[in-house]
Chain A
Amino acid sequence: DAGVIQSPRHEVTEMGQEVTLRCKPISGHDYLFWYRQTMMRGLELLIYFNNNVPIDDSGMPEDRFSAKMPNASFSTLKIQPSEPRDSAVYFCASSLQTITGELFFGEGSRLTVL
């Protein structure tokens, strides 16, 4: 299996622009997680899905952030409008069968908002 695949790897945009990050989980994994990593706050869970259904989005910082999972093999995290404080590395992770199972991470999308 190719593992968790994220795109783009790097994104540089200007404040106010819309940003869409994409993730393809490992085939057969039932859980998908979006994390954000910054130097100040470390790794934070933004939202997770079970069988394509959003279960807990309490970590989503503001209404500017939204996430979807239209099918078992694809998820997006959208920021609109983007702000400089959104600059971070965004990771997607998936796990098999249970939220407490082993987590497998993608390579991350490094976002810079100017």
Chain B
Amino acid sequence: KQEVTQIPAALSVPEGENLVLNCSFTDSAIYNLQWFRQDPGKGLTSLLLIQSSQREQTSGRLNASLDKSSGRSTLYIAASQPGDSATYLCAVNGNTGNQFYFGTGTSLTVIP
């Protein structure tokens, strides 16, 4: 079974800093990887979807990279803002079309 790990579990940074969130997975045979944001009491909002053939995806201040061979993905947030405070989850999907497996998330706090 695919295991997805996100480190650190919690992160606190001052406003304006660039930061990196990490996601690792045990089975490199994935179809795609998706990053989500979850605000307290809310659902998950899709941020970026990376197909297995891609190395990275960008959306505004967010950049996600994928290294299948090492079983890793990173989410880079540039010039962090207090509004970025949330829990960030990654999810991977196997190449047999199986379910998405979710990490437990990184809780980010951006201090004004």
| Contact surface of A with B, Cβ cutoff 8 Å | 4, 33, 42-43, 45, 48, 56, 59, 91, 93, 98-100, 102-108, 110
- Report B101 CB to chain A, min CB distance, Å: 9
Task: Assess the A107–B32 pair: CB atoms within 8 A.
Answer: no
**4 closest Cβ contacts across the A-B interface?**
A105-B43, A43-B102, A105-B44, A107-B43
Contact flags (1/0) for B36-63 with A, using CB distance below 8 Å? 1000011111100100000000000000
Contact of A48 among B32, B36, B93, B99 (CB under 8 A): B99
- B31 contacts chain A at the CB level, 8 A cutoff: yes
Q: Decide yes or no: A91 and B49 within 8 Å by CB, A48-B99, A100-B31, A100-B97 being known contacts.
A: no
A56 to B100, CA, bound (A): 13
Q: Decide yes or no: A104 and B93 within 8 Å by CB, A43-B102, A48-B99 being known contacts.
A: no
A103 to B97, CA, bound (A): 14
8 additional contacts, CB 8 Å, given A4-B43, A100-B31, A103-B91?
Answer: A42-B104, A59-B99, A102-B34, A102-B49, A103-B100, A104-B46, A105-B43, A107-B42
Interface of B: prevailing SS: strand
A49 to B43, CA, bound (A): 20
Task: Assess the A43–B34 pair: CB atoms within 8 A.
Answer: no
- Report A49 CB to chain B, min CB distance, Å: 13
Q: Decide yes or no: A43 and B89 within 8 Å by CB, A91-B43, A102-B49, A105-B43 being known contacts.
A: yes
- Select from chain A the residue with minimum beta-carbon distance to B42: A107
Q: Decide yes or no: A91 and B44 within 8 Å by CB, A56-B99, A103-B34 being known contacts.
A: yes
